[in-house]
Amino acid sequence: MKKVIYFSLLSVVIGVLLMGCGNDEVQPRAINEETDKCPVCNMSVMDNQFATQVVLEDGLSHVFDDLGCMYVWLDENPDEEIAATFVRDYNNEEWIRSEDAFYVYNMDVKTPMAYNMISFEDQASADEFIAENEGELIAADALADHDWQMNHEMMEGHGHEGDHGHGEMDSESHTEEGESTH
């Protein structure tokens, strides 16, 4: 009888441990607007629909204020061991894995660093945005090959010099912390 109880208890413990192993899915961390800075442009990262995140295999996270900054960082850090990348849905600001998102490139969309790319959790939302505002649907697997250029006209239209790397900056989006590194 002791052997049956011991075996049953051992089976339950092993089952619980195995179930727990499947819950190690990488998750994005919360953004702290007071301390988080984009490692590419050194701007404050707002907790909004433009924020993106890279989670490394060692658990370290980098947050970015614009999808373009994340891709500049990925290009400049090809040897980093990346566990996951996340973007925000433009409509509801929920985190989604970047490979599962649908992207719209529209030169009139004001993103923090004027890369003009936004993300959606489903294609229907992206198509709806395009129908109302125009734009180009970009597949997630095509982002690495996208020409990540800032919209300098948009940046200059907000009183910023074209080459110093700052996008739209107003009281709702960012405060200038220093010159860009890109």
Q: Tokens 């924020």 — which residue?
A: 51
pLDDT digits (tens, 9 = 90+) for 61-90: 999 999 999 999 999 999 999 999 999 999
pTM for this entry: 0.73
pLDDT digits (tens, 9 = 90+) for 28-61: 999 999 999 999 999 999 999 999 999 999 999 9
pLDDT digits (tens, 9 = 90+) for 1-16: 555 444 444 444 444 3
* Cα–Cα distance list, 81 to 26, 27, 69, 74, 166 (Å): 13, 16, 18, 11, 28
- Rounded CA-CA distance 99/139 in Å is 9
- Please count the other Cβ atoms lying within 10 Å of the Cβ belonging to residue 148: 20
pLDDT confidence band for 171 (50 / 70 / 90): very low
